[in-house]
Structure formats: structure tokens, C-alpha cells
Amino acid sequence: MKQTATSVVADGVALITLDNPPVNALSASLRQGLQAELEKAFDDEAVGAIVLLCAGRTFIAGADITEFGQPWQPPSLPDLCTMLDDAPKPVIAAIHGTALGGGFELALACHYRVAAQSAKVGLPEVHLGLLPGAGGTQRVPRIVGAEVALEIITSGRQIKAAEALALGLVDAVVDDAALQDEALAFARRIMVDGGAKPRIRDRADALRADRDRPELFTAFAAANARRFKGVVAPAAIIEAVEAAVRLPFNEGLAKETALFERLVTSPESAAQRHVFFAEREAARVPDIGPDTSAIDIGSVGVIGAGTMGGGITMNFLNAGIPVTLVETSQEALDRGLATIRRNYEATAAKGRMTAAQVEQRMGLITPSLDLAALAEADLIIEAVYESMDVKTDIFARLDRIARQGAILASNTSFLDLNRIAGATSRPEWVVGLHFFSPANVMRLLEVVRGAATSKPVVATAMRLAKRIGKVAVLSGVCDGFIANRLLAPRGAQAEAMMLEGTPIAEIDRVLVDYGFAMGHFQMMDLVGLDVIGRNATERTVMGDLVAAGRLGQKRGAGYYDYDEKRRSRPSDVTDRLIKEVAAAHGVAHAPTSGDEALLARLLYPVVNEGAKILEEGIALRASDIDIAAVLGYNWPVYRGGPLFWADQVGLDRIVADMRQLEAVHGESFRPAPLLVRLAEAGRRFGDGA
Ligand code: T1G
């Protein structure tokens, strides 16, 4: 591993190059190398100015997150920024790729910033449950003012070079290919012009107006309360930016450091850092290395233009991959195309896409009513009705139509992929690509590996996921694969407690307080009770609600009643039905109360199912199960996912509580053998099963 800082001097300019693949994260050894090269350049009389450049594909992408939780090795990132503040010579940062977090903060501590046209800058620490801890919360407001700084830092968004120039965050934008030369020329001009060393910390003009707006910070917090619910970093960011307005620089810096230290030791940040690395770990399949050949996907066929087929299609259009979209009727095809267009036009209306881009994407679709149109596709994805008969029929027909070497994929959400593959003469080319609705939005893609699926097909699916902006999680074949199987017990327990007399509003509230965007019954009403459907052979509350026309939000009534603004309130009709169904099933009245007891009923069975999924080898690792929950079911990211959260609760406590619940509620709470083994050994899911 390189992790080097080197420098060369030419025409009085020292060019320091950092090289720590793949993203020049500021590891301890890189910080030490940079410190040494800066000191050398500061002391070298032949040097009049310094350019800081990075090798590889990007400028520094931030502090080295893998070092968090370990003792900090000197020099710290703030120490390097202070070194730049006190530099005897002008330092110019030459930015390409993505200068993020501590990388951008280091650039802000330089005297000037020259960015490549395609470069982006940003402070994404908020996504790790942190705030910029190397002066970003103090320097950015001094350039753009508090209000814009709050938006930039709490959103963590990446800012394109042109916008950064307009905001004053960079001083020049140059052609990508000319970055080094232009930065050196910029340095030489600075030297000739007297070697000025402007420091952002000395600027106060952008803050003067903010000092007369005491309400700015409380108003910003209030306006974003919903977005910031549950996470801890945004409030700290607001506090740090307010310190930039109210305090001298060094005092503001001290405030930022104190806030950072508090965040970096918080369970929320630990959870968010876990998710960051878990997302990247999920791409690793032990028996498939980078040398496993993949199939080039230049064209895709999608069968089914319904909600899922349309969303799936959009993912490929967004990646510039043409799609042949097949339906059984012109009316269904037209409806699907209209939905895709409507989605893009909605994005364009928000200014996030141009009309030309909408047409460009729509132009990549070849609609057809004939499966034969898929004969040359490299990948064909079936996204039709969840019926094994329908799917096996389609795959049998595809077997006769698709070219040799085409990948045949099913979007099935729970059917046996091996049976689907068995309908063809080429099961090694069959894989599951399970998207989550809305398929063009949700980032989880379960890649279902059948018994016969070949390694090149799995490798292709895993790499294709990143190309279309998804996070792939490899799943074995079982009912519900990973995410749906994992979360099913939460619904079962919610409905069991409903029949026992626990108010559904209480069940939903405790899930929302835990961090879910909505509760179980709220979600059912949103999706639509008729859509969810159940092949229920016995009487259920949902069945009664559907029979009564109470289909959910769309009908103004489901489990809840809804007003004209779709605000929910408990329903007497539902309460009556619950009592009737409970009586019909002989369910004793035994409501559960107390947040801990409710959460144990709802979430321990999810943890337990995760242990079974892991033990059966359906998922490769515990963190994959966390990622499936976070990206597939919006499990609150600051909880880290069910198994990370279970580790924080303590597996021994969960097993003990489950045993008590098992005595009352039966085998739904029988602890999985792996969970018991880990608990008894004092180990955690995070230690590796
Ligand atoms: N530290 C350590 N490793 C990192 C890293 C980082 N900051 N960023 C990426 N990696 C690893 C990643 O795990 C993966 O490893 C490989 O690099 C490629 O990443 C004091 C405290 C830069 C936009 O939050 O957003 O600075 O899997 O697959 O899709 O205020 O990486 O190959 O072994 O994501 O091209 C703030 C996080 C840190 C930026 C590139 N910075 N990184 O995306 O590649 S905290 C961030 C990213 C901080 C200061 C604070 C993305 C990327 P492996 P990748 P990519």
C-alpha cells in the first residue's frame, strides 16, 4: 500500500503529491508524510509557493474512516490545517475527483483552491453521524454565510466545481487535463504578485449579516425537524455553525472539536459508519474474485411494464443502457411508457433533469408486444405477476428465444428460483434480480444465486448493480430471500398484538419512535390492503377491511380513518373488527404496553430471523442482512440494521428476553441456535458468525 507524500520543486514551486489508493483517505502515515513535505517546502529557500496534488482518481476523500475508534496518531487533521494557517508561503490545493470531508477541509485551510472542471467538493460527514471536524463548520460559513453553510453541511451533498466557484469555495476552475499545469501556473502568478496568503479564517464579512439574525438557527432546526428526527449530527452542525457566527475563530474551532468528539463516540455514528462499510463489503463474494470474467451488458430486455417493470427499466435508462420493454397488450405497454415518462417529467419539474435528458432516456426504450424482440438482449429481466406457472412458462419460451450467452433473470420476490431455472435448458444462466419498490428509487438489489447459477453470471449481476446505482446483496434461494423474510416476523407480531388488544396506534408509534418512517399498519394502509393481498384461508382483520371497502389511504379508510389531508386517526370500525376476529380465533385479551416490551415483541423476531438466514447460508454475512434491512425496508440507518442493533442491545439479553416471551407466545420466540451460541460465547454478530 503506497500512502506516500512526495514533492518536487520547479520554478520556485514545490509540487507535493499524495498517493494513497483508492481515494487518498488521510491515513496517519499520509498525514505524517504530508507534514514532512510541508515542513521541507516551508524551509526550502528555493520555494516560493506550494501546490498540493493527489495521484489517482481523486483528491483526498476524507479522513480515513477505518481509523475511527482507534487512538489518534499525530499529526491530526486539525493540526495539519493549523500548519497551513501558519504557513510562511502560499499553498494551492489542486482538486480533482471528489474532495470530501477532511479532504475538502484541508483544501479550505490552503490559501487557494484550483479545481478541475469535473471535480466536486463536499462535507458528507453528516452521513456518518459526524460533523466536519477539521474546521469545515468554521471556514465554510466565512465564505458562503451561515444559511448556505447549514444547507451544505447538513445535506452533505457534493457540489460541482462550477457551483463551488460561484459560491467562492474554489478560486479557479480549469480543464481536467490541465489541472496540474494550471495549478502550477496559478502558484507562479501568486509568487510574482507578492505571494499573498489569504486565510479564510480571517474573513468575517459573510458572517456580519448573520450576527443580526439570531432566529436563523432555531428556524433552520424547526424547518428540518422531520428530516433530522432520530439522528444526532445535524443539531451539532447547527450548533457549530452558530459558533462560527458568534465566536472568534479559535473558540469556534474548539467548539467544533468538542462536538465532533461527542459525535464520534455516539452509537448513531458507529451505526452509520457500520452501514457505510457494510454497503461496500456486500459487493464481496468469497468464491468470486475480481478475476472472475463478467458478461458485458450492452442491452437489456424487461418483460412486464407494470410498477416493477417500469421502475426496473428506468434504472437501466439512467445508466444509458437501452431497454426493450415487452408487454402482452398495447394498452399495458402504453400505460407503462406513460408512467416512466411521468416519473422523468416529475424529476425534470424539480430541476434535476432537463427535458432533453427525458427524451434521451425515453429514446432508449424499444417497446414491443413480442418476446422474440428479446432475441439479441444481453440480459432479460422478467417482472411479471408472482405466479410460478406464469414465470416457468415465460422462461421456457425465453429458452427458445434468447441468444446463447444471455443472462435470464427473474424479479421474483419470493418464488423458488431453482424451479424457474428448471424451466430452461440453461439454469446456469438464470439468476434472481430482486428489486424493491419503487425499483427506480430503492437502492437494494438482492442478487439471488440459484443452485446452478454460474460464477460469471453472479459476478456480472453484482457488478451491474453498482453501474445502475444499486447496492447488491447476494442471497441464496429461500422463501422471501433476505429482506422480505427478515421483516415478515415484525408484521406477524404487530398483527398478533393487535388481536391481543394492543392499540395499533401504539404499535405504530413505537416503530416510528424507534426510527422507521412509518409503522406497520400505516405502511399497509399506504401500500393498499387490496395490493398486499393474502391467500388467507382463515378470517383476518385485513380481509374484513378489504371486504368493507376499506382499502387504505387511497380510499380514506383502512386500518385507520384518514382526513382530506391523509392524516390518520384510529377507527371505531377497525376496533370493532379486531374484537370480532380476536373472538373468532379465541385470542385472549392481553395487550402489551411499554416501549421496551413492544420493541422486543416486534424486533427480536427480526433479529432471530436474521440469525437463521445467516446460519442457513442464505446471506454471506451479518452486515449483508443489516444492509438488506436498511436499504430494502428503511431500517433507520442510525440503528445500523437489526443485527448491529442486536449487538448493541446485547445478545445475552435478547436470548433471555426471548425465552420469557417463548413461554407465553410459543415458538415464534424460540431463539435460533446461532443466536444462542453467540450469546453463550459472549460474541456478537459483528465478530463474524
Ligand atoms: N476512509 C477510508 N476508506 C474509504 C473512505 C474513507 N474516507 N472513502 C472510501 N473508502 C474506501 C471504501 O471503503 C472502498 O474500500 C474504497 O475506498 C472505494 O470506495 C475530519 C471526520 C469517495 C465518493 O465520507 O463517499 O473526513 O471496498 O467504493 O464509489 O471532518 O468512497 O474498495 O475496500 O465508495 O468511487 C468523510 C466517503 C470522512 C467520503 C468514492 N468522507 N467516501 O466512491 O468508491 S470523515 C466521506 C465516499 C471526515 C473530517 C471527517 C466514496 C467516494 P474497498 P467506494 P466510489
Dihedral of CA atoms 599, 601, 607, 610 in degrees, nearest 10, equals -130
Does 533 have pLDDT greater than 80?
Answer: no
> Would you say the CB of residue 279 lies under 6 angstroms from ligand 1?
no
Task: Please report the pLDDT score of residue 409 as a whole number.
Answer: 98
Task: Please report the pLDDT score of residue 4 as a whole number.
Answer: 84
Please name the residue whose Cα sits nearest to atom 55 of ligand 1: 23
pLDDT band, residue 100 (cuts 50/70/90): very high
- Which one from 37, 39, 67, 125 is the annotated catalytic residue? 125
Task: Please report the pLDDT score of residue 608 as a whole number.
Answer: 98
Question: What is the whole-number distance in angstroms between the Cα of residue 64 and the centre of ligand 1?
Answer: 8
C-alpha 440/C-alpha 443 separation (Å) is 8
pLDDT band, residue 2 (cuts 50/70/90): low
Average pLDDT of the segment spanning 336-355: 96
Does 535 have pLDDT greater than 70?
Answer: no
Does 536 have pLDDT greater than 80?
Answer: no
> Would you say the CB of residue 61 lies under 6 angstroms from ligand 1?
yes
pLDDT band, residue 448 (cuts 50/70/90): very high
Specify the range with the lowest mean pLDDT, choosing from 371-375, 516-520, 527-531, 677-681.
527-531
Does 230 have pLDDT greater than 90?
Answer: no
Question: What is the whole-number distance in angstroms between the Cα of residue 649 and the centre of ligand 1?
Answer: 28
CA distances from 149 to 9, 122, 328, 508, 680 (A): 36, 11, 52, 36, 49
Does 538 have pLDDT greater than 90?
Answer: no
Phi-psi bin for 641: left (phi > 0), alpha (psi -120 to 50), beta? left
pLDDT band, residue 72 (cuts 50/70/90): confident
H or E stretch at 211: helix 205-211
Q: Is 105 a catalytic residue?
A: yes
Ligand 1 atom nearest 277 alpha carbon: 13
Please name the residue whose Cα sits nearest to atom 47 of ligand 1: 61
Specify the range with the lowest mean pLDDT, choosing from 284-288, 528-532, 560-564.
528-532
C-alpha 536/C-alpha 614 separation (Å) is 29
pLDDT band, residue 270 (cuts 50/70/90): very high
CA Rg, the chain, in Å?
28
Question: What is the whole-number distance in angstroms between the Cα of residue 473 and the centre of ligand 1?
Answer: 19
Does 689 have pLDDT greater than 80?
Answer: no
> Would you say the CB of residue 66 lies under 6 angstroms from ligand 1?
yes
Task: Please report the pLDDT score of residue 1 as a whole number.
Answer: 60
- Site to probe by mutation for ligand 1, drawn from 18, 65, 159 as the one with most ligand atoms within 8 Å of Cβ, is 65
**pLDDT tens digits along 131-151:** 999 999 999 999 999 999 999
> Would you say the CB of residue 227 lies under 6 angstroms from ligand 1?
no
Does 229 have pLDDT greater than 70?
Answer: yes
Does 332 have pLDDT greater than 90?
Answer: yes
- Which one from 105, 182, 268, 495 is the annotated catalytic residue? 105
> Would you say the CB of residue 130 lies under 6 angstroms from ligand 1?
yes
Domains in the chain, CATH or no CATH each: 5-265 (3.90.226.10), 300-480 (3.40.50.720), 503-585 (1.10.1040.50), 602-616+636-687 (1.10.1040.10)
Task: Please report the pLDDT score of residue 9 as a whole number.
Answer: 85
The pLDDT mean for the chain works out to: 95
Question: What is the whole-number distance in angstroms between the Cα of residue 101 and the centre of ligand 1?
Answer: 10
> What does the DSSP 8-state code read for residue 71?
P
Beta strands in 511-567 (DSSP E): 560-562
ipTM confidence score: 0.98
Let me know: does 560 contact 571? Beta carbons within 8 Å: yes
Q: Is 261 a catalytic residue?
A: no
